[in-house]
Structure 1
Amino acid sequence: MVDEPLYPIAILIDELKNEDIHLRLNSIRRLSTIARALGEERTRKELIPFLSENNDDDDEVLLAMAEELGAFIPYVGGVDYAYVLLPPLETLCTVDETIVREKAVESLCRIGSQMKEKDLVDWFIPLVKRLGADEWFTSRISACCLFHVAYPSAPEATRSELRSVYNHLCHDDLPMVRRSAASNLAKFAATVEPAHLKSDIMSFFKDLTQDDQDSLRLSAVEGCAALGKLLEPQDCIANILPVIVSFSQDKSWRVRFMVANQLYELCEAVGAEATRTELVPAYVRLLRDNEAEVRIAAAGKVTKFCRIISPQLATQQILPCVKDLAIDSSQHVRAALASVIMGMAPVLGKEVTIEQLLPTFLALLKDEFPDVRLSIMSKLDQVNQVIGIDLLSQSLLELAEDRHWRVRLAIIEYIPLLASQLGVEVFDDKLGSLCMQWLGDQVFSIREAAANNLKRLAEEFGPEWTCQHILPQVINMINNPHYLYRMTILHAISLLAPVVGGEVTCQTLLPVVINASKDRVPNIKFNVAKVLKSLIPTVDASVVDQTIRPTLQELNEDPDVDVRYFASEALKACDDTMST
């Protein structure tokens, strides 16, 4: 008979062999519980061998097992016994399902990084060699991901053997194996001695970059920047730079896309001088590529690229391409350019920006697609620092009435900064009426942003300006026939009250709110209760007791349950204020 404390554990172990996948999955996910109950020795001698021989063919169960075993070192007795976890994970590295293999590899790397050097030599390195020479391509794919863990601890003779095995994997008959070797080459290269890096690794790299499979060349591009950073500058220019230039003209648009996407990192690898002489022509080709996806990737890097090269070179070589991209047939290309174009302004300087970049910027501001206009809006502060707001104000005013609400919202977010730079007089003349107009917008998000905008403007220009220019118009709008707009005005009042102070609130704002408590719409009345609650800290206790409380008591007897709820909450706040 099973001991009583271990009986549930026995059930979990039995469930590992159950036909019901849910029971098996539940048991796998509780492997740590089973291991703690069995103890370290029985876990090593019974549980792990059982898992190694487990013939489960369900990917979900195998994935859970691969994940659990990665954190299993404490349950087998610590790092001294970490090697016992390798057999079941080695088996999982051979399965067909990619996600299971990837998780098994991840767990092996995690365990290998903690193992003692002797155990790595005795157990981990033989595992890598077995997987690398296995007849199943899935094993060889997994092996490529493990060399960077095995190599640093290997003796000199074994290191030579590991490099030889990796060489065979780089020239494997199956493209998917070669692709895995290409993807992991940079990680392996980081562990290899400098002499072998220049000879063996760069030889592997060169062969992979000339592969017929575009997916192989794609993986090779991803490793260019990482490999370049491992090499001396002159070796990087000799080995990496020609590959980048070649890939920028590759027949596969996906390879060219990857070059465009990683160009900044590649420039960092080869250095500023080589970038100016060799990569500028390559980048210009990518900016003018036939494929829109490549132009999108290249356009998104234009600011970063210009920062590496000289302003003169940027003006001569890159700026003409930028002007063409601003009228590109693809809206996505124009949007990608719009999101970064103003970053060029500090690089080019004020004169070139005003003469050549500003017209392009203004054209994008008026683009027919809202995504392009939104992208340009997100970077206004960069151009503002270079040319000032006066040159932009007219275009921004046109966008303030844009038909797309997201563009109007973006403008509202920018208004306080615009106001601070235009000054009170110019703001009143050009933008004051617009700020009030947004309070009556059909879109709730615009009305809400407009109310918050009034608060920020009030803080910028002060209470006196607010009382003179904002409050009269806000109060006048409380009589709007549509209750949704009246609710917006109540929200605006609650935001403005702390800015204008208690005296103005009592004299000007509070009577408006009290009057709104007689509104026929319940939504207005319970919002009145919320606003009155927010005004309590702003006004004197006598005003709370003589004016606010009676109104709330009246609302507390309203037929509508929501009105009564918010009125009672506000009354509690009154009581708390009076008690303190």
Structure 2
Amino acid sequence: MATIDEPLYPIAVLIDELKNDDIQLRLNSIRKLSTIARVLGEERTRKELIPFLGENNDDDDEVLLAMAEELGAFVPYVGGIEHANVLLPPLEALCSVEETSVRDKAVESLCRIGARMTGKDLIEYFIPLVKRLAAVEWFTARVSSCGLFHMAYPIAPEVSKTELRTIYGQLCQDDMPMVRRSAASHLGKFAATVEVTHLKTNILPIFEDLTRDEQDSVRLLAVEGCAALGKLVDPEDCVEIILPIMVNFSKDKSWRVRYMVANKLYELSEAVGPEPTRSDLLPAYVRLLRDNEAEVRIAAAGKVTQFSRILNPELAIQHILPCVKELSADSSQHVRSALASVIMGMAPDLGKDATIVQLLPIFLSLLKDDFPDVRLNIISKLDQVNQVIGIDLLSQSLLPAIVELAEDGHWRVRLAIIEYIPLLASQLGVEFFDDKLGALCMQWLKDKVYSIRDAAANNVKRLAEEFGPDWAMQHIIPQVLDMVNDQNYLYRMTILHAISLLAPVLGSEITSSKLLPLVINASKDRVPNIKFNVAKVLQSIIPVVDQSVVEKTIRPCLAELREDPDVDVRFFATQALKSSNQVGKSS
């Protein structure tokens, strides 16, 4: 029986597996290409493996996608950059397949290889490849070619550059909408490589044709080109050519195009130059804020702060604020949520007076919105308003709403309020805080939701850091003493967690005299979960207190817990005792 020559064996196995009916075997074989290439060596990889892959007619998209990805990283296995051109044919074939993800990956790999190729090889192999793809009758190849022009153009000779610009213009007018879409999508990248002198004569006319395309999917991609081209051309050309196109797009019959305009309008405004010119975009933006489609209003509302920032405050107050007021009562909860996430940022730009008179009522209405996400988005940005209107006015206007939200039925809203409390506490001062919010902070320790109790414990620690040990002794410790014996074991566990967090903040003396006795007492609890948490808390307290306290109080308690009938209690008690031994040795 004839045997396969050993050097030929890997390629024989590969061929065998690539023809197997089992897709997983074929896929595994593709994933091993780099290993097989190393075994074959660079020359045989170039002469045998790569040509074989180019002839592979696998019809499974997953296998082809894997091949397109693998080939993008194959330059070292074919002998380096000087031989990179051998990888182009199989990838060129993959650029014509029907599956979009395979074509996209093939284009990505071609760009990756092209970025490493020498100028000579790019001219000899890469540019002809781009031209061939752009001329193929089947549209998928032409779609792929659009993503390669920005790689080919910079190194092309002048004659080829003229030809490439012409070909790209033809692709922008292709009969197939999918090709025009691809051309519109990649126009910005291609334009960035084209000389300034040709931008106005070649690229802008192409772009204007795309903006008038009958397919809305082409026009919306052209919108993206507005912002990209705006940054490339002179400000005068941007104002004269691109700005009117963008304004016209804001009235497009397709809501998808208008949605894209709402997303890109601010980006374009940065390219059009000084403030007076930017104000030309204002009517278009106002139109988008009042659009019939909720999706467009969502996109526009999300840019309110950014757009207000590029206008002078008077224009923003006169034109943007009335729209903001309308949006705060919009029928779509998602519009209100988008507005709530950014509206706070308007305060610094509008100034104190406009914020108090115009924005504050809107804040208050959004704080009482029926939709939890709206309330959450407002709460998370309250600090931006503090800086403008001052804490006195904030406490008078917003504090009642905050107190109300502290008992909100939606737990995520309560959580957001808890996380905001330390910041509010530092600004309100200790007396005001004790009067208005102190009781709330302890109330949260007995919330039904674990995440709230956990956040409340961390909140108590942060407040102790803010106001100091003396304040904690007066306002926290007495209530902790009351709650540590609560009938609900879950609340008792929360108090133990709070003690472990407070101990490092309050220091050795207070921990030893006030907190430790509570923990020791809890070690007699009837619930095993409490007892093993006691062991964990004692372990965390060991570094805080004196060694004498560890020896006299903590270790005896842990030794007793180590004999507990419950396996978890014994485990954590043993861990804590080991920790105390290490601390004892180090001291």
Identify the TM-score tier after normalising by the shorter chain: over 0.9
Residue segments in structure 2 that go unaligned for 5+ positions in a row: none
The 1-side partners of 2:273 and 2:234 are apart by: 11
Residue 140 of structure 1 corresponds to which residue in structure 2?
142
Shift of 1:125: 1.0
Identify the match of residue 237 of structure 2 among 235, 238, 248: 235
Counterpart contact for 2:272–2:278, Cα < 8 Å: no
Residue 493 of structure 1 corresponds to which residue in structure 2?
499
The 2-side partners of 1:415 and 1:262 are apart by: 36
Q: Is 2:432 the counterpart of 1:426?
A: yes
Shift of 1:8: 4.6
Q: Which amino acid aligns with 1:555?
A: L
Identify the match of residue 518 of structure 2 among 506, 512, 520: 512
Q: Which amino acid aligns with 2:453?
A: R
Residue 338 of structure 1 corresponds to which residue in structure 2?
340
The 1-side partners of 2:508 and 2:163 are apart by: 82
Q: Within 5 Å, which residues of 2 pair with 1:430-441?
A: 430-441=436-447
Q: Within 5 Å, which residues of 2 pair with 1:396-435?
A: 396-435=402-441
Shift of 1:232: 0.5
Residue 259 of structure 2 corresponds to which residue in structure 1?
257
Q: Within 5 Å, which residues of 2 pair with 1:56-455?
A: 56-273=58-275, 275-390=277-392, 391=394, 392-455=398-461
Shift of 1:16: 2.6
Q: Which amino acid aligns with 1:450?
A: A
RMSD: 1.2
State which drifts further: 119-128 or 296-305. 119-128
Shift of 1:13: 4.0
Shift of 1:94: 0.4
Residue 576 of structure 1 corresponds to which residue in structure 2?
582
Q: Show CA shifts across 1:195-251 (max 9, x none).
A: 211011111100000011000001100111111101010011111101100000100
1:75/1:309 CA distance change after superposition, 3 Å: same
The 1-side partners of 2:337 and 2:266 are apart by: 20
Q: Which amino acid aligns with 1:409?
A: L
Q: Show CA shifts across 1:235-286 (max 9, x none).
A: 1111110110000010000000000011110111212435543100100000
Q: Which amino acid aligns with 1:557?
A: E
Shift of 1:194: 1.3
Residue segments in structure 1 that go unaligned for 5+ positions in a row: none
Counterpart contact for 1:112–1:124, Cα < 8 Å: yes
SS at match of 1:286: helix
Q: Which amino acid aligns with 1:437?
A: Q
Identical aligned residues as a percent: 75
Shift of 1:532: 1.0
Residue 561 of structure 2 corresponds to which residue in structure 1?
555
Counterpart contact for 1:6–1:37, Cα < 8 Å: no
Q: Show CA shifts across 1:71-94 (max 9, x none).
A: 111111111111111111110000
Q: Which amino acid aligns with 1:223?
A: G
The 2-side partners of 1:277 and 1:415 are apart by: 39
SS at match of 2:499: helix
The 2-side partners of 1:277 and 1:364 are apart by: 28
Shift of 1:6: 5.8
The 1-side partners of 2:463 and 2:262 are apart by: 43
Identify the match of residue 552 of structure 2 among 546, 552, 558: 546
Residue 35 of structure 1 corresponds to which residue in structure 2?
37
The 1-side partners of 2:391 and 2:487 are apart by: 38
The 2-side partners of 1:213 and 1:272 are apart by: 34
The 2-side partners of 1:520 and 1:536 are apart by: 24
The 1-side partners of 2:561 and 2:112 are apart by: 64
Alignment length (residue pairs): 580
Structure 1 length normalisation: TM-score?
0.98
The 2-side partners of 1:473 and 1:324 are apart by: 46
The 2-side partners of 1:231 and 1:519 are apart by: 75
Counterpart contact for 2:181–2:218, Cα < 8 Å: yes
